Structure 1
Amino acid sequence: MPPIPILCRSWCGYSGGVISGAAGRRMRQATTLFSGLLLALLGAGAAAAATAEPTQEPQGHFLRPTTLVGKIVDYELSYTHAPDREVIFPDSTAEFKPFEYVGKTFYPTRTRGGQSLDRSVYHLRTFALDSVQSLSLPVTLLQGNDTLTVRSTTATVRLQRTAAATATGAEAPVLRQNTTPLPVPTQFNYPYWLAGAGLLGLLLVSLFLGFRRHLRKRYQRYRLRKNHVYFLAQYARHIERFTLSRSLTNMERAITLWKNYLTGLEDNTISSLTTREIVAHYENDHDVKTALHITDRVIYGNQFSEEEAETDMAFELLRNFAERRYDLVAASLRA
């Protein structure tokens, strides 16, 4: 090892001669240790330099040699590396100028023969008017707590022009002015209509909440009047049929209709009560007591009066009583 004694002599300040004995042995040991440390440092530096530098740069190219303004063109970025290396490809936030990012199609890592291949296709478009446009994207390599950015090879694409080229020195064509407005089809304005419908619904809800009690009473009065008119019509029909046929069935139907109407009108249970219980319920009302006694004698005793005035009076008394009870309920709703 010729360089080591020279380094040692330079380091120790010795300019000639040979040191022997214990001093020489200590000198040789120190020289050996220093040489080992120096070689280790040089080897570590070379290994770190080899690790920091990628073995191959990323490859980028356009899948078509030409493109049009605003038309999507695909750019493929690939990188071959060691399987244990962590690689990050650029995303939509990267710098794609003069191109605009539209989308991306990525492929899973493929490893063959001790080499891994990462590949991704970027969908881009351009509105620049340069005849030749180039792009180079960065690839990030993770190395422990540090990162290394490596740019791909530069890829170019030619812009295909659709307008005919003019001769050198020729005047530009004269533009024709046309300011005539073109008809535009009318479209339904959904946002305004939805906003209007929302405001109308809010107004209706506010009115309902503010006048809920009044509206409920008004609706109850409407249903009460409608049911009363229906009762009077049906009651008159049963009486007419009884008058023509003198059939007890028609009389029973008229009395049952009267009981059911009062049950719904006053929310009671007189439809299931006997005549005595109904009279007691209405506190021995003269009209109810008289009419029901007449109808019971006719229906259950089969005792027809020679004159029809008695049965007609019974029907009339029951109708008048129903009219009075209706007026009481309607007055309570108007209060």
Structure 2
Amino acid sequence: MDSQPARTYRRAGLLLLLWLLGMPLLAPAQTLPDSLPHGSFQRPGVRVGEIVQYELTYRHVPGLAVIFPDSAADFAPFEYVSRRYYPTRTRQGRSLDRAVYRLRTFSLDSVQTLTLPVTLLRGRDTLLLATTPARVRLVRTVPPETDVQAPPMLRPNLQLLPVQEQFNYPYWLAGLALVLLIAGGLVLGFRRSLRSRYRRYRLRKNHAYFLAQYARHVERFTLSRSLTNMERAITLWKNYLSTLEDNNISSLTTREIVAHYQNDADVSLALRLADRVVYGNQFSEDDTETDLAFVLLRTFAERQFQKVYAAN
């Protein structure tokens, strides 16, 4: 038989062993949270593909590091759409964390359940706290198969219906691009010819305008015998030749103009007759000299026009 001291030692050793084994089991139980998260749908029913809001709340003692699920969490059988977090509120020694998730479902189960875990940080360790299951009922828009009557017989209808015509933008744009491309090619290929035609058109137009204005000044001079009309005719003649030949004879004197045209007989005679009338106020008894001066100036202008026109 064992002695009394031996039995006492064995009993003390057994108690010590039980205490050592029980420490890891008791320690976590002292730090467990005093409440669990709560999740609920804000509506009792939802249709397929319709957005439904799921509210997740957790009341706890202040100071806990709580992490709510994000978009990477498992929301099956629902699909995640968006979420909204609310700041932590602490009142009377209790903190409230709250988030609202916008979800949708395409599952056809009559009752659908969702449970989201909340993560609790404890230094290097984490603790997952499961929420109470939240249920939502699927609202069906199609009657059950038992209530559906036999579908009606379908009759084929091959009659064509009028269709409203629409503007074909792609083809019109393609056609416009083709026309612009062809026009650009023609312009590039016949650029010189087109420029020459345009210059000749401008020359003919300016020459016709000059002849009309020149004839008007000559007619006014013949009727009024006014030196002003004769000066205007001479000035018009000088300006036209300046534009036609791209020079500045309008600012030259009679002698300089005659020299510029290499002592042309028509220019020399016409300008001398005009100077005698304008500056010398010497009118002849008949209008032969003044008429000759006007004719010579017009003839010389037409001759210069033909030279320039042929060069273009």
Question: Structure 2 length as normaliser, TM-score?
Answer: 0.71
Question: How does 1:269-288 map onto structure 2 within 5 Å?
Answer: 269-288=248-267
| Contact 2:37–2:129 (CA under 8 A) maintained in structure 1 | no
* Residue-by-residue CA offset, 1:52-111 (whole Å, 9 max, x unaligned): xx94265445x58364x8xx73321333358854546439xx998898x9xx67545343
Q: Offset of 1:291 from its aligned partner?
A: 0.9
SS of 2:152's partner is: coil
* Residue-by-residue CA offset, 1:92-133 (whole Å, 9 max, x unaligned): xx998898x9xx6754534323223222435x697x9x5848
Distance in 1 separating the partners of 2:78 and 2:96: 33
Question: How does 1:1-335 map onto structure 2 within 5 Å?
Answer: 5-6=13-14, 55-56=36-37, 58-60=39-41, 63=43, 65=45, 67=47, 73-80=50-57, 84-87=65-68, 89-90=70-71, 107=84, 109-113=86-90, 114-121=95-102, 132=110, 134=112, 153-161=134-142, 171-333=150-312
| Contact 1:98–1:133 (CA under 8 A) maintained in structure 2 | no
Task: State percent identity of aligned pairs.
Answer: 44
SS of 1:159's partner is: coil
Q: Offset of 1:172 from its aligned partner?
A: 3.1
| Contact 2:241–2:301 (CA under 8 A) maintained in structure 1 | yes
Q: Structure 1 pair 299/141, CA: closer, same or farther in 2 (3 Å)?
A: farther
Q: Structure 1 pair 45/223, CA: closer, same or farther in 2 (3 Å)?
A: farther
Which of 271-280 and 198-207 deviates more?
Answer: 198-207
Question: Unpaired runs of 5+ in structure 2?
Answer: 1-9
Backbone CA RMSD of aligned residues:
4.4
Distance in 1 separating the partners of 2:184 and 2:139: 64
Q: Offset of 1:303 from its aligned partner?
A: 0.9
Q: Offset of 1:246 from its aligned partner?
A: 1.6
Distance in 2 separating the partners of 1:307 and 1:150: 128
The residue identity in structure 1 corresponding to 2:239 is N
Q: Structure 1 pair 84/246, CA: closer, same or farther in 2 (3 Å)?
A: farther
Question: Unpaired runs of 5+ in structure 1?
Answer: 11-31
Q: How many residues align?
A: 290
SS of 2:217's partner is: helix
The residue identity in structure 2 corresponding to 1:155 is V
| Contact 2:46–2:137 (CA under 8 A) maintained in structure 1 | no
Q: Offset of 1:272 from its aligned partner?
A: 1.7
The residue identity in structure 2 corresponding to 1:193 is W
Q: Offset of 1:187 from its aligned partner?
A: 1.4
Distance in 1 separating the partners of 2:117 and 2:307: 90
Distance in 1 separating the partners of 2:39 and 2:288: 116
Q: Structure 1 pair 276/139, CA: closer, same or farther in 2 (3 Å)?
A: farther
Q: Structure 1 pair 258/58, CA: closer, same or farther in 2 (3 Å)?
A: farther
* Residue-by-residue CA offset, 1:198-230 (whole Å, 9 max, x unaligned): 332233233323333332222122111111111
Q: Structure 1 pair 115/95, CA: closer, same or farther in 2 (3 Å)?
A: closer
Distance in 2 separating the partners of 1:212 and 1:137: 79
Q: Offset of 1:298 from its aligned partner?
A: 0.8
Distance in 2 separating the partners of 1:137 and 1:214: 84
Question: Structure 1 length as normaliser, TM-score?
Answer: 0.67
Which of 75-84 and 199-208 deviates more?
Answer: 75-84
| Contact 1:260–1:271 (CA under 8 A) maintained in structure 2 | yes
Distance in 2 separating the partners of 1:137 and 1:178: 53
Distance in 2 separating the partners of 1:142 and 1:268: 96
Q: Offset of 1:190 from its aligned partner?
A: 2.1
Q: Offset of 1:140 from its aligned partner?
A: 9.4
| Contact 1:242–1:251 (CA under 8 A) maintained in structure 2 | yes
Q: Structure 1 pair 55/278, CA: closer, same or farther in 2 (3 Å)?
A: farther
| Contact 1:64–1:73 (CA under 8 A) maintained in structure 2 | no
